[in-house]
Amino acid sequence: MSTDIGSGTGSDATTIEVGADAAAGGSSSSSINPASVRAVAKKDFRDSIRSWMFWGLSVFFFTLLVATTGAISYFGDDIAAQGQTTEALVAMVNGITRLVIPLIALILGWKAIAGERESGSIKILLSLPHSRKDVLLGKLIGRAAVLSVSLIVGFVLAALVVVALLGSFDIVDYGGLLVMSIIYGLAYTSIAVAVSSLTRSTTIAGAGMFGIFVLFYILWDTMLVAFMTLMNSGYLPEGETSAQVALFFNSLDPGVAYQNVLSLATSMPEMDQQTVQILENTFGSVPFYLQDWFAFVILLAWIVVPIAIALFRFDRVDL
The amino acid at residue 76 is: G
Q: Based on CB atoms, which residue is closest to other proteins, 54 or 174?
A: 54
Q: With CB under 8 A as the contact rule, which of the stretches 26-34, 85-93, 210-218, 222-230 interacts with other proteins?
A: 26-34
CA distance 27 to 253: 36
Q: With CB under 8 A as the contact rule, which of the stretches 6-14, 57-65, 96-104, 243-251 interacts with other proteins?
A: 6-14
Residues 288 to 317 in contact with other proteins, rule: CB under 8 A? 316
CA distance 92 to 90: 6
Q: With CB under 8 A as the contact rule, which of the stretches 38-46, 91-99, 173-181, 260-268 interacts with other proteins?
A: 38-46
Q: Based on CB atoms, which residue is closest to other proteins, 2 or 277?
A: 2
Smallest gap, in angstroms, from Cβ of residue 130 to other proteins?
6
Site string for other proteins, 81-120 (x = CB under 8 A): --------------------------------------xx
Q: With CB under 8 A as the contact rule, which of the stretches 22-30, 85-93, 148-156, 286-294 interacts with other proteins?
A: 22-30
Smallest gap, in angstroms, from Cβ of residue 307 to other proteins?
20
Residues 111 to 170 in contact with other proteins, rule: CB under 8 A? 119-121, 123-124, 126-131
Burial of residue 40 (number of CB atoms within 10 Å: 0-12, 13-18, 19+): buried
Q: Which residues contact 19 (CB under 8 A, 6 or more apart)?
A: 315, 316
> Interface with other proteins includes 22 (CB under 8 A)?
yes
CA distance 85 to 251: 27
> Interface with other proteins includes 14 (CB under 8 A)?
yes
Q: Based on CB atoms, which residue is closest to other proteins, 44 or 253?
A: 44
Q: Based on CB atoms, which residue is closest to other proteins, 15 or 82?
A: 15
Residues that bind other proteins (CB under 8 A): 1-3, 5-6, 8, 11, 14-15, 18-19, 21-22, 25, 27-29, 31, 33, 35-36, 39, 42-43, 46-48, 50-51, 119-121, 123-124, 126-131, 316, 318-319
